[in-house]
Amino acid sequence: MSSLNFRTVLVEPLYSGNIGSTARAMKNFGFSELVLLNPCEIDKNARIMSVHAYDIIENAKIATTLEEAVEGSHLIVGMTGLPGKTENKHKRMPAISPRKLREKLTGKSGIVSLLFGREDDGLSNEELELCDMVVYIPTSPEYTSMNLSHAVAVVLYELSDIEGGETFLAGHFDIELLYEHVGDVLADIDYKEHKENKTQMMVQRILGRAELTTREVYTLRGILRRIQMKVGKTDVNGED
Protein backbone atom coordinates (compact mmCIF):
# COMPACT_ATOMS: atom_id res chain seq x y z
CA MET A 1 0.00 0.00 0.00
CA SER A 2 1.40 3.38 -1.00
CA SER A 3 2.05 6.09 1.58
CA LEU A 4 4.02 9.29 1.98
CA ASN A 5 5.29 9.91 5.51
CA PHE A 6 7.17 12.91 6.83
CA ARG A 7 9.70 13.00 9.66
CA THR A 8 10.54 16.35 11.27
CA VAL A 9 14.20 16.41 12.36
CA LEU A 10 15.52 19.23 14.56
CA VAL A 11 19.31 19.36 14.35
CA GLU A 12 20.82 20.39 17.68
CA PRO A 13 18.00 22.73 18.77
CA LEU A 14 19.24 25.29 21.30
CA TYR A 15 16.04 26.26 23.08
CA SER A 16 13.53 23.99 24.75
CA GLY A 17 10.71 26.40 24.00
CA ASN A 18 11.33 26.03 20.28
CA ILE A 19 11.01 22.26 20.61
CA GLY A 20 7.65 22.77 22.28
CA SER A 21 6.48 25.25 19.63
CA THR A 22 7.60 22.86 16.89
CA ALA A 23 5.54 20.05 18.42
CA ARG A 24 2.52 22.36 18.52
CA ALA A 25 2.96 23.30 14.85
CA MET A 26 3.30 19.62 13.93
CA LYS A 27 0.05 18.76 15.66
CA ASN A 28 -1.69 21.75 14.05
CA PHE A 29 -1.02 20.30 10.61
CA GLY A 30 -1.40 16.60 11.36
CA PHE A 31 2.23 15.44 11.71
CA SER A 32 3.56 13.36 14.58
CA GLU A 33 7.04 11.93 13.91
CA LEU A 34 9.69 14.08 15.58
CA VAL A 35 13.42 13.36 15.81
CA LEU A 36 15.71 15.45 18.02
CA LEU A 37 19.40 15.34 17.16
CA ASN A 38 21.54 16.17 20.19
CA PRO A 39 18.93 18.53 21.64
CA CYS A 40 19.26 20.95 24.54
CA GLU A 41 17.73 19.99 27.87
CA ILE A 42 14.00 19.51 27.39
CA ASP A 43 12.66 21.46 30.36
CA LYS A 44 9.29 22.88 31.39
CA ASN A 45 9.41 25.46 28.60
CA ALA A 46 8.91 22.68 26.08
CA ARG A 47 5.74 21.57 27.86
CA ILE A 48 4.45 25.14 28.19
CA MET A 49 5.02 26.01 24.53
CA SER A 50 3.69 22.70 23.20
CA VAL A 51 0.32 23.28 24.97
CA HIS A 52 -1.66 20.13 24.00
CA ALA A 53 1.06 18.62 21.79
CA TYR A 54 3.51 17.44 24.45
CA ASP A 55 2.78 13.83 23.49
CA ILE A 56 4.76 14.45 20.30
CA ILE A 57 7.81 15.36 22.40
CA GLU A 58 7.28 12.39 24.70
CA ASN A 59 7.28 10.07 21.67
CA ALA A 60 10.17 11.81 19.91
CA LYS A 61 13.28 9.85 18.96
CA ILE A 62 16.55 11.20 20.37
CA ALA A 63 19.46 10.71 17.96
CA THR A 64 23.18 11.31 18.44
CA THR A 65 24.23 11.31 14.77
CA LEU A 66 22.59 12.66 11.64
CA GLU A 67 22.81 9.23 10.04
CA GLU A 68 20.81 7.80 12.93
CA ALA A 69 18.25 10.61 12.68
CA VAL A 70 17.51 9.98 8.99
CA GLU A 71 17.86 6.19 9.03
CA GLY A 72 15.32 4.53 6.76
CA SER A 73 14.57 7.70 4.80
CA HIS A 74 13.91 7.63 1.08
CA LEU A 75 14.47 11.37 0.68
CA ILE A 76 16.28 13.89 2.87
CA VAL A 77 15.28 17.54 2.57
CA GLY A 78 17.33 20.26 4.27
CA MET A 79 16.08 23.74 5.11
CA THR A 80 18.25 26.81 4.56
CA GLY A 81 17.80 30.51 5.16
CA LEU A 82 20.58 31.50 2.76
CA PRO A 83 20.22 29.55 -0.50
CA GLY A 84 23.44 29.20 -2.44
CA LYS A 85 25.53 31.09 0.11
CA THR A 86 28.09 28.71 1.54
CA GLU A 87 31.81 28.93 2.18
CA ASN A 88 32.46 26.67 -0.81
CA LYS A 89 30.34 27.64 -3.79
CA HIS A 90 30.65 24.14 -5.26
CA LYS A 91 28.81 22.66 -2.29
CA ARG A 92 25.71 24.80 -2.75
CA MET A 93 22.49 23.26 -4.03
CA PRO A 94 19.66 25.03 -5.86
CA ALA A 95 16.94 25.69 -3.28
CA ILE A 96 13.24 25.29 -3.93
CA SER A 97 10.22 26.72 -2.12
CA PRO A 98 8.03 24.61 0.20
CA ARG A 99 5.27 24.83 -2.41
CA LYS A 100 7.59 23.48 -5.10
CA LEU A 101 8.57 20.66 -2.74
CA ARG A 102 4.90 19.79 -2.43
CA GLU A 103 4.55 19.69 -6.22
CA LYS A 104 7.59 17.45 -6.59
CA LEU A 105 6.43 14.97 -3.93
CA THR A 106 2.79 14.71 -4.94
CA GLY A 107 2.06 11.16 -6.09
CA LYS A 108 5.20 9.74 -4.46
CA SER A 109 5.50 7.08 -1.76
CA GLY A 110 8.16 6.78 0.91
CA ILE A 111 9.64 8.35 4.07
CA VAL A 112 10.79 11.96 3.77
CA SER A 113 13.00 13.48 6.47
CA LEU A 114 12.72 17.26 6.83
CA LEU A 115 15.89 18.69 8.42
CA PHE A 116 15.72 21.99 10.29
CA GLY A 117 19.03 23.44 11.46
CA ARG A 118 20.26 25.24 14.56
CA GLU A 119 18.58 28.50 15.51
CA ASP A 120 21.86 30.43 15.31
CA ASP A 121 23.70 28.73 12.47
CA GLY A 122 21.36 26.51 10.46
CA LEU A 123 22.70 23.36 8.79
CA SER A 124 26.40 22.97 8.05
CA ASN A 125 27.80 22.36 4.56
CA GLU A 126 28.44 18.73 5.50
CA GLU A 127 24.83 18.29 6.62
CA LEU A 128 23.51 19.90 3.45
CA GLU A 129 25.67 17.54 1.40
CA LEU A 130 23.73 14.63 2.90
CA CYS A 131 20.45 16.14 1.67
CA ASP A 132 18.82 15.22 -1.62
CA MET A 133 17.03 18.58 -1.83
CA VAL A 134 17.27 21.97 -0.17
CA VAL A 135 14.25 24.13 0.64
CA TYR A 136 14.22 27.89 1.16
CA ILE A 137 11.29 29.86 2.53
CA PRO A 138 10.97 33.14 0.60
CA THR A 139 10.96 35.98 3.15
CA SER A 140 11.23 39.75 3.08
CA PRO A 141 14.79 40.84 2.23
CA GLU A 142 14.49 43.34 5.08
CA TYR A 143 14.39 40.50 7.62
CA THR A 144 15.11 36.98 6.38
CA SER A 145 15.64 35.20 9.72
CA MET A 146 12.72 33.06 10.88
CA ASN A 147 12.01 31.47 14.24
CA LEU A 148 12.60 27.71 14.08
CA SER A 149 9.03 26.72 14.85
CA HIS A 150 7.67 29.29 12.38
CA ALA A 151 9.80 27.76 9.62
CA VAL A 152 8.51 24.31 10.57
CA ALA A 153 4.94 25.60 10.45
CA VAL A 154 5.33 27.10 6.97
CA VAL A 155 6.80 23.91 5.52
CA LEU A 156 4.31 21.57 7.18
CA TYR A 157 1.39 23.78 6.13
CA GLU A 158 2.38 23.31 2.50
CA LEU A 159 2.66 19.54 2.97
CA SER A 160 -0.37 19.04 5.22
CA ASP A 161 -2.82 17.82 2.58
CA ILE A 162 -0.39 16.39 0.04
CA GLU A 163 -1.55 13.24 -1.74
CA GLY A 164 0.86 10.34 -2.04
CA GLY A 165 0.78 7.80 -4.83
CA GLU A 166 2.26 4.65 -6.32
CA THR A 167 5.65 6.06 -7.31
CA PHE A 168 7.95 4.56 -4.68
CA LEU A 169 11.08 6.61 -3.98
CA ALA A 170 14.43 4.84 -3.87
CA GLY A 171 15.96 4.38 -0.42
CA HIS A 172 18.64 6.89 0.58
CA PHE A 173 21.12 4.01 1.02
CA ASP A 174 20.66 3.04 -2.64
CA ILE A 175 21.07 6.68 -3.65
CA GLU A 176 24.34 6.89 -1.71
CA LEU A 177 25.60 3.74 -3.50
CA LEU A 178 24.74 5.41 -6.82
CA TYR A 179 26.73 8.52 -5.86
CA GLU A 180 29.70 6.35 -4.89
CA HIS A 181 29.40 4.51 -8.20
CA VAL A 182 29.50 7.83 -10.08
CA GLY A 183 32.72 8.68 -8.25
CA ASP A 184 34.23 5.30 -9.14
CA VAL A 185 33.44 5.78 -12.83
CA LEU A 186 34.94 9.28 -12.89
CA ALA A 187 38.15 7.79 -11.48
CA ASP A 188 38.02 4.85 -13.93
CA ILE A 189 37.81 7.14 -16.97
CA ASP A 190 40.70 9.27 -15.66
CA TYR A 191 38.53 12.34 -15.22
CA LYS A 192 40.63 15.39 -14.40
CA GLU A 193 41.40 15.05 -10.72
CA HIS A 194 41.04 18.76 -9.92
CA LYS A 195 37.52 18.73 -11.40
CA GLU A 196 36.39 15.34 -10.09
CA ASN A 197 34.90 16.48 -6.77
CA LYS A 198 33.12 19.45 -8.32
CA THR A 199 31.64 17.30 -11.08
CA GLN A 200 30.50 14.61 -8.67
CA MET A 201 28.80 17.23 -6.50
CA MET A 202 27.02 18.62 -9.55
CA VAL A 203 25.82 15.15 -10.56
CA GLN A 204 24.54 14.56 -7.00
CA ARG A 205 22.58 17.83 -7.12
CA ILE A 206 20.98 16.83 -10.42
CA LEU A 207 20.07 13.33 -9.23
CA GLY A 208 18.91 14.59 -5.85
CA ARG A 209 16.27 16.77 -7.53
CA ALA A 210 15.03 13.85 -9.65
CA GLU A 211 13.20 11.91 -6.89
CA LEU A 212 14.59 8.65 -8.29
CA THR A 213 12.77 5.35 -7.92
CA THR A 214 14.61 2.14 -7.02
CA ARG A 215 14.29 0.88 -10.60
CA GLU A 216 15.76 4.11 -11.95
CA VAL A 217 18.71 3.81 -9.57
CA TYR A 218 19.37 0.23 -10.69
CA THR A 219 19.13 1.30 -14.34
CA LEU A 220 21.63 4.11 -13.86
CA ARG A 221 24.03 1.81 -12.02
CA GLY A 222 23.69 -0.69 -14.87
CA ILE A 223 24.76 2.03 -17.31
CA LEU A 224 27.71 2.90 -15.10
CA ARG A 225 28.77 -0.77 -14.99
CA ARG A 226 28.64 -0.93 -18.81
CA ILE A 227 30.94 2.10 -18.94
CA GLN A 228 33.33 0.37 -16.55
CA MET A 229 33.24 -2.76 -18.71
CA LYS A 230 34.11 -0.75 -21.80
CA VAL A 231 37.15 0.78 -20.11
CA GLY A 232 38.17 -2.59 -18.68
CA LYS A 233 37.58 -1.72 -15.02
CA THR A 234 35.01 -4.43 -14.28
CA ASP A 235 33.77 -7.73 -15.71
CA VAL A 236 30.28 -8.66 -16.90
CA ASN A 237 29.24 -9.52 -13.31
CA GLY A 238 30.22 -6.09 -12.03
CA GLU A 239 33.34 -7.28 -10.21
CA ASP A 240 36.49 -5.16 -10.16
Residues 25 and 142 in one domain: yes
**R_g (Cα) of the chain, nearest Å:** 19
pLDDT at 87: 46
Span 191-210, pLDDT tens digits: 887 788 788 878 887 887 78
- Domain stop point among 119, 135, 168: 168
Is 235 inside any structural domain? no
Is 224 inside any structural domain? yes
Residues 163 and 179 in one domain: no
Residues 181 and 84 in one domain: no
Residues 161 and 178 in one domain: no
Span 165-193, pLDDT tens digits: 888 888 888 888 999 999 899 989 888 87
Residues 144 and 217 in one domain: no
- Domain stop point among 120, 136, 168: 168
This prediction's pTM: 0.84
Residues 216 and 150 in one domain: no
Residues 129 and 183 in one domain: no
Is 236 inside any structural domain? no
Domain of residue 69 covers 4-168
Closest CA to 162 of 32, 6, 1: 6
Is 239 inside any structural domain? no
HEC letters along the chain? CCCEEEEEEEECCCCHHHHHHHHHHHHHCCCCCEEEECCCCCCHHHHHHHCCCHHHHHCCEEECCHHHHCCCCCEEEEECCCCCCCCCHHHCCCEECHHHHHHHHCCEEEEEEEEECECCCECCHHHHHCCCEEECCCCCCCCCCCCHHHHHHHHHHHHCCCCCCCEEECCHHHHHHHHHHHHHHHHHCCCCHHHHHHHHHHHHHHHHCCCCEHHHHHHHHHHHHHHHHHCCCCCCCCCC
* Rama region for 122: left / alpha / beta (φ>0; ψ in -120 to 50; rest): left
Is 8 inside any structural domain? yes
Residues 221 and 128 in one domain: no
Residues 141 and 179 in one domain: no
Span 50-91, pLDDT tens digits: 999 999 999 999 999 999 999 999 999 999 886 554 444 444
Is 17 inside any structural domain? yes
What CATH number has the domain bearing residue 15? 3.40.1280.10
Number of domains in the chain: 2
CB of 83 closer than 8 Å to CB of 139: no
- Domain stop point among 147, 168, 189: 168
